[in-house]
Chains A and B, each alone.
Chain A
Amino acid sequence: MLVAILSRLGRLVFVMFGISVVVFLIFFATPGSDPAARIAGRNASPETLAQVRQSFGLDQPLPVQYAVMMKRLFVTQDLTSFVNRGQKVVPAVIKAIPVTLSLVLGAAVLWVIGGLIVGVAAAATRGGWTDRGLMALSLVGVSMPVFWVGEVMNLLSQSRLHHTFLFSWVPPLGYKPLLTDPAGWFKALVIPWVTLAILYIGLYGRILRADLIETMQEDFVRTARAKGLPESRILLRHGVRSSLIAFVTMFGLDFGALIGGGALLTEVVFGLRGVGKLTYDALQTLDLPVILTTVLYASFFVVAANALVDALYAVIDPRVRRAG
Chain B
Amino acid sequence: MPAEPLLQIRDLSVAFRTERGLVQAVEGVSLEVEAGRVLGLVGESGSGKTQTLLSILGLILDPNAVLSGSVRLDGEELVGMPNRRLRRIRGAKAAMIFQDPMTALTPVHTVGWQIVEQIRAHSSLSNRAARDKAVALLAECGIPDPARVVERYPHELSGGMRQRVVIAMAVSCEPKLIVADEPTTALDVTVQAQILALLDRLRRDHGTGIVFVTHDLGVVSEIADTVAVMYAGRIVESGPVQALFAAPRHPYTHGLFNSIPPLRGPRPARLTGIPGLPPSRGAPETGCAFAPRCAYAFAPCAARPPLAPEGAQRVACFLPGETKQGFRRAGDLAA
Contacts and interface: CB of A to CB of B under 8 A. Distances in A.
Q: Do chains A and B touch in the complex (CB under 8 A)?
A: yes
Interface of A: 218-220, 222-230, 237-238, 241-242, 316-319, 322
26 contacts: A218-B103, A220-B107, A222-B104, A223-B104, A224-B106, A225-B61, A226-B95, A227-B91, A227-B121, A227-B169, A228-B89, A228-B91, A228-B92, A228-B121, A229-B91, A229-B118, A230-B87, A237-B117, A238-B109, A242-B106, A242-B108, A316-B108, A317-B107, A318-B153, A319-B155, A322-B156
B92 A238 contact: no
B91 A238 contact: no
Contact of A225 (B59, B88, B103, B166): B59
B59 A222 contact: yes
Nearest to B63: A127
A223 B107 contact: no
Given A219-B100, A223-B166, A318-B155, A228 B87 contact: yes
Interface in B80-128: 87-92, 95-96, 98, 100, 103-109, 117-118, 121-122
Given A222-B59, A319-B153, A228 B122 contact: yes
Contacts of B96: 223, 226
B95 A220 contact: no
Give the size category of B's interface with A: 20 to 34
B57 interface: yes
Nearest to A220: B106
Contacts of B107: 220, 242, 317-319
A323 to B, nearest CB: 11
Interface in B51-84: 57, 59, 61
Contacts of B61: 225
Nearest to A226: B96
B121 A229 contact: yes
B200 to A, nearest CB: 22
B98 A223 contact: yes
Contact of A220 (B87, B105, B121): B105
B117 A229 contact: yes
Contacts of A237: 109, 117
Contacts of B118: 227-229
A316 B100 CA distance: 23
Contact of B108 (A222, A224, A241): A241
A223 B179 CA distance: 12
Contacts, number: 71
Nearest to A238: B106
Contacts of A318: 107-108, 153, 155
| Among A223, A241, A317, residue most surrounded by chain B Cβ atoms (within 10 Å) | A223
A241 B155 CA distance: 16
Contacts of A317: 107-108
A230 to B, nearest CB: 7
Nearest to B54: A222
Contact of B90 (A227, A238, A322): A227
A322 B155 CA distance: 10
A315 to B, nearest CB: 10
A238 B109 CA distance: 8
Nearest to A321: B153
A117 to B, nearest CB: 20
A225 B98 CA distance: 12
B108 A223 contact: no
A21 to B, nearest CB: 39
Contacts of A222: 59, 98, 104
A312 to B, nearest CB: 13
B92 A220 contact: no
Interface in B163-216: 166, 169
Nearest to A216: B61
A309 to B, nearest CB: 17
A316 B96 CA distance: 27
Contacts of A219: 98, 100, 103-104
B105 A223 contact: yes
Nearest to A127: B63
Contacts of B57: 226
B87 A229 contact: yes
Contacts of B108: 241-242, 316-318
A220 B117 contact: no
A218 B105 CA distance: 10
A3 B95 CA distance: 44
| Among B90, B95, B108, B166, residue most surrounded by chain A Cβ atoms (within 10 Å) | B108
Nearest to B87: A228
A230 B61 CA distance: 14
Contacts of A322: 156
3 shortest interchain CB distances as A-B pairs: A228-B91, A228-B90, A226-B96
A218 B57 CA distance: 18
A230 B95 CA distance: 15
Nearest to A319: B155
Contacts of A224: 106
B166 to A, nearest CB: 7
